[in-house]
Structure 1
């Protein structure tokens, strides 16, 4: 059974990872806006590609979580399909 301190630590770590994902999404949106009037470098194009893939990964994970019993099913899916989570949460699997 996890203690309150362990749960707080997990929530804090996931909050930081969520903020990282949001920051990356914001950067991707800025690059997409920039692409409407100038050409992007290969590095900028790669950043957009990675971030769009992360967004596409988050949607199925959210859908599974919202299903009845999804809170129990999602951890099992993460073990079976580690790539279902966005990149900011990937290192959590290896711990």
Structure 2
């Protein structure tokens, strides 16, 4: 239910989010890091993401949910909604064929 609510509000503002994100150097790379590389965000990276989201929340009020205490638990939902790809990237698999 919460995911559906967030998805509807974020999709409504998706273009504005991407327009603003282009002005913030490194924001999208950092936001999609966990999804693209399967490595967890560090504490410093989460704090940097919070700063970016705080800036975005001035334009898009629903973003406030992600900067509230515990909002970092919702970040994967935000990333999933904003991801333009239909599927996740495959995990890093060795390119050496099995015999």
TM-score for the superposition, normalised by structure 1: 0.38
TM-score for the superposition, normalised by structure 2: 0.37
The structure whose Rg is larger is 1
More helix by share: 1
Bigger relative contact order, structure 1 or 2 (CA pairs below 8 A, ≥6 apart): 2
